[in-house]
Amino acid sequence: MLIEKFLKQAKEEIIMDTVLSDEFMDKVQDNFAPIESLMAYYRCAIMEVETKFNVLNEQFSLQYDRNPIESIKARVKSFDSILKKVKRKQIPFSLESIEENINDIAGVRVICSFQEDIYMLADCLLQQDDVRLIERKDYIKNPKPGGYRSLHLIIEVPIFLEKEKRPMKVEVQLRTIAMDFWASLEHKLRYKKNISESEAEYLAKELVECASISASLDQRMEAIRDRMEAAQEKIS
């Protein structure tokens, strides 16, 4: 027993010495450094896109005395999420493959006041000469079966590094406040477990109905705004 205990302890010490050795840590750092750099590039791309929307919002505030953007949210996918997507899409595990095949590592979500603002901001963004549209999915005009509504754009923007200009992909989602409210709650409710099949089916129908109510609310609020503006024009 003493010999086995000694051998086990010696083995653990060897493993720890190996793991904590400078050589091992250097190898880990060498392999992880390119990943960290890529994630930093995506963060830079997010900053570029956020700036573009902030500039547009500021311009509309000065020119039209209103802000079409309520808020902007941004995120870079965690490395764990990227690995899961690599496995799900069955693509090679390399930085080149990840960049080429995964378009939503960098994400910017723009919450707008009105549905009309979504298309206006999208057009303004895509007219800029350093923005390249890769893919457009309009889930407002064509909602998902579950009720999800949003405008998705995959764009490519340049980031300017010390010695190079690097094109980076960013997914942009544009939603109204009502769309974002529904999507946020639906996301939380979707992962509730221990629900019977019949109950899950009923709740899915309820969520679709809520999405329809949300869409109706967007239309009514936009109609109220238009009527108010028309009334103000008559007075002036």
Residues tagged active-site: 171
Name 229's Cβ contacts closer than 8 Å, sequence gap at least 6.
none
- Residue 122's nearest CA partner among 179, 48, 67, 175 is 175
- Residue identified by tokens 């050589």 is 23
Sheet containing strand 106-112, edge to edge, reads 69-76, 106-112, 165-176, 151-160, 132-138
List the structure tokens of 169.
Answer: 């992909």
Return the beta strands (E) in 66-118 as ranges. 69-76, 106-112
